A and B are shown apart, each in its own frame.
Chain A
């Protein structure tokens, strides 16, 4: 159980275009999902917390108008990188939080999306 999928796994785009990444919890409902970014040889950096039916909460220094997050249902959150530039190239990973009593607060990660902006 606790499977999270992400699509696409890899995307290459031209500078100035927008890219949409989907994150789905496949076998559980996730009221809270998280979006992370990871640069090579660095640890995970939390970008934002996504709550179903409400606006995302962004971490300090993350531009909310550039990284649009929508959490339209209990199993789907999307991250749109708008007007992408080469410095946005990174490994974007989502996670979903379980809420059962036995797995309280555990986060399960999707496989990640590797974004390359040319």
Chain B
């Protein structure tokens, strides 16, 4: 069973702080990793993709991938109340292009 695990939260941080979201996956052959943001009642929005070990930065977001530890994380710097949402970690294992999603972490940024 290919699994993607996330802490369901809720994770609560003050405005301006760094929010750290974590995700582990079970299948070692996983190749592509994604973070989606989903506001309540809305569909997921892709915010980061990462394919290689290390860090990838895009604005206030940094994705970190460690394939040896089967771990991917998302850091949100200078968190804003508008970042309050559920963050979904998704992993692609192979050529069928299907994504396996974690259950999501609910982030609340307090003004």
Contacts and interface: CB of A to CB of B under 8 A. Distances in A.
Contact of A93 (B32, B43, B49, B96): B43
29 contacts: A32-B97, A34-B99, A42-B103, A43-B101, A43-B103, A44-B44, A44-B88, A44-B101, A46-B98, A46-B99, A49-B96, A49-B97, A93-B43, A104-B32, A104-B51, A105-B31, A106-B34, A106-B46, A107-B34, A107-B46, A107-B97, A107-B99, A108-B46, A109-B36, A109-B43, A109-B45, A109-B46, A112-B42, A112-B43
Interface in A96-112: 97, 103-112
Interface residues of B, number: 22
Chain A to chain B: the 5 pairs with minimum beta-carbon distance, closest first: A112-B43, A109-B43, A43-B103, A93-B43, A105-B32
Contact of A49 (B44, B49, B98): B98
Interface residues of A, number: 20
B49 A106 contact: yes
B92 interface: yes
A43 B89 CA distance: 11
Interface string B59-87: 00000000000000000000000000000
A68 B16 CA distance: 47
A104 B42 CA distance: 24
Contacts of A107: 34, 46, 90, 97, 99
Contacts of B96: 49
B66 to A, nearest CB: 20
B42 A34 contact: no
A91 B42 CA distance: 9
